[in-house]
Amino acid sequence: MQLCRVEGTVISTRKHPSFNGWRFLICQPLDCDGRADGIPVVALDSLGAGIHQKVVVTSDGLAARRAVGDDLSPARMMTIAIVDEAEKEISRSEGATTA
């Protein structure tokens, strides 16, 4: 599961039929400071995310197939949470254990 920012959408006419009616989001992984880092993934928009919103994306194929309602779907990635806040705590002391 990765913290990503929605950067755009993919429009596709020719696709696997299980994706009809679904929106593909281009999701850019972020580092702990909210900067783009790594290659974007394409995820199904299961929660109605907006452009530039932060989301959590999963790569759990089983859940994605169930979300589209087709056990034969090649779906693998989808949004599972829209982020209100993703806070990096300022490090006070490395290795501090507060749990």
Return the residues of window 6-35 that contact its own copies according to CB under 8 A.
7-16, 19, 24, 26, 28-32, 34
Other CB atoms within 10 Å distance of the CB of residue 10: 10
User: CB of 35: closest distance to its own copies in angstroms?
Assistant: 10
- Structure tokens, 40: 């974007």
Residue 55 CA: distances (Å) to CA of 29, 31, 32, 98: 9, 13, 14, 27
Told to check if 87 binds its own copies by CB under 8 A, we report yes
CB of 6 to its own copies, least distance (A): 8
- Select 21 or 94, whichever has its Cβ closest to its own copies: 94
